[in-house]
Structures are given as structure tokens and as C-alpha cells.
Amino acid sequence: MLRNFTFLIIALVISRFIGLPPNFSPLLATAIFMPRLTNSKYLQSFIPVLAVILSNFFLEAVNLFIFSTIIFVFSFAPILSRKINNLFYSCLAVMLCWFILVNGSVWMISGGSIINTYLGAVPFDFKLLISTLLYLSVFHYFDLIYREFYDSNKKLIDRFIKE
């Protein structure tokens, strides 16, 4: 079990460094998709948050308040996704939370015009929305193929947990 989680975390961390455009990674999509991978509410939030924290060790430093807001959004995404229970609407809800909270924290730290802060964030957050929708689609269809191939309703990560 530990080996599988380690592999997933490493794959998510590496995904931030494979030459994709900024704000184009599977991390937020993974956080939204986690309730479909495991029933463990703890793991649903822990895995994406750990991937963000570990990958940020290798990236440019981010203000602690902004980083804390990002971590909050990543830990809250699986909860929101579980409550909404629809990938598309979950994605939109999480992206709205991201847009309001993360950009609000950027504005609080940097000052200036709140309107300019939010307007300046639109191109970056739009790329994040597109990448999240694309990765969610890939995850969704992979999950459908997996369930069909293994003829199982058991969630992928739950298969590796010893009962």
C-alpha cells in the first residue's frame, strides 16, 4: 500500500515539472477526483496536499499566506467534490473557490487595486480551469475503463488498502 501511495505522490510531484505551461497541471484535478479513488476522507485531502507541499520545495518560494490559502483550497476540493458529486460542477465550484480565495490572498499581500488583481489572474486561472477539465476527463474515462476491465465497483486506491 505504501509503495502505491508513494508512486502516486511522486507522479503528481513530477507532473509539475514536465514542461507544461504555468498553471497547467493535474494536481487540482486530482484533488477533485480523489473521492472517486478512495472512500478514505483523510487520504482524499492528504494526497493532493502532500503533492503540492513536496513539489513546492523545488519551485520558487511563495508567500506563506498565499501558500496556506492554496493548501486550504487543495484540502477543501475533495470535500466539495464529494458534496456536489458531479465532476463538472465540482470543477467549477473549486475553481470559483480558487479564484476568490487565492487571488484574494494575493491582493491582501500585494495591495493595490482588487479589480486589477482579479482581472490579472483571469488568464492564469483560465489555463488552470482548462487543464483541470482536461485532466478530469482523462481521469474519468480511465476510471470507466478500469471498472469495466476489472469488473469491479471498488475504487482504485481502495483496492490497495488491506482490510
Contact 25, 15 (CB under 8 A): yes
Instruction: Locate 91 and state its grid cell.
Output: 470543477
**Confidence band (pLDDT; 50, 70, 90) for 79?**
very high
Contact 133, 91 (CB under 8 A): yes
Q: Compute the average pLDDT of residues 156-160.
A: 66
Nearest to 156 by CA among 39, 13, 32: 39
Q: Check residue 13 and give its pLDDT.
A: 77
CA pair distance 100, 95, nearest whole angstrom: 9
Q: Check residue 5 and give its pLDDT.
A: 61
Q: Compute the average pLDDT of residues 68-92.
A: 95
Answer left, alpha or beta for residue 6, where phi above 0 means left and psi between -120 and 50 means alpha: alpha
pLDDT in tens, 2-60: 566 676 777 777 776 776 777 788 889 999 999 988 888 998 999 899 989 988 888 88
Q: Note down the domain range covering 113.
A: 2-160
Q: Check residue 152 and give its pLDDT.
A: 66
Domain total for the chain? 1
The amino acid present at 121, given as its one-letter code, is: A
Three-state SS sequence of 20-42: CCCCCCCHHHHHHHHHHCCCCHH
pLDDT of 144 strictly over 60? yes
pLDDT in tens, 110-136: 988 999 999 999 999 999 999 999 999
